[in-house]
Amino acid sequence: MTVLTIYKPLAKGKTFPPIELTDINGEKFNLDNFKEQTIVINWWAVWCAPCRKEIPGLNKLVNKYSNRNVRFISITDDSIEKVSHFLGNNEFKYDITFVSKNSRILFGNSYPKNIVINNNKTITLYKEGGNENIWQEIDQHLSKLNNGK
């Protein structure tokens, strides 16, 4: 049993911890850059079949919430080269980001994970495991968070 098994850093009701991310252009940032926004995170990998099956539905969310105060961020620990190759043949409308080695431990070894964080950085939805229809659950959750706005 590891410390992370006992202390689950990512769980509904917990504050999302500060992490350093790098975008596809190599720029570093953290989630504090998106204050006052709801953030939807998808933890994924290019080799993960359940992750890839979720992408079309997740893209629907980006389209639906494009004019609302919601930010969609994908986080992976794959290399920029692997992700760039994947994106050459597949559309993923989330902001593509890469996690630092220090922050990668937060996500554990299972893929995919979908997380919604409110504007106070509290995790309001946390789902592990592949589900092609996860986008519908996220959509309902976002509607409740934003009072249908």
Q: What average pLDDT values come out for the chain (149 residues) when binned by 10 residues?
A: 54 90 91 89 96 96 92 95 95 93 82 95 93 93 78
Give the model's pLDDT for residue 51: 96
Handedness of CA 133, 64, 117, 110 (dihedral sign): positive
Alpha-carbon gap, residue 44 to 48, rounded angstroms = 7
Give the model's pLDDT for residue 145: 86
Q: Is 118 helix (H, G, I), strand (E, B) or coil?
A: coil
Q: Is 128 helix (H, G, I), strand (E, B) or coil?
A: strand
Q: Which CATH class is domain 8-23+36-145?
A: alpha beta
* Of the candidates 130, 103, 135, the residue with the CA atom closest to the CA atom of residue 116: 135
**pTM (2 d.p.):** 0.89
Give the model's pLDDT for residue 58: 96
Give the model's pLDDT for residue 135: 94
Give the model's pLDDT for residue 8: 63
Give the model's pLDDT for residue 111: 94
Alpha-carbon gap, residue 141 to 147, rounded angstroms = 10
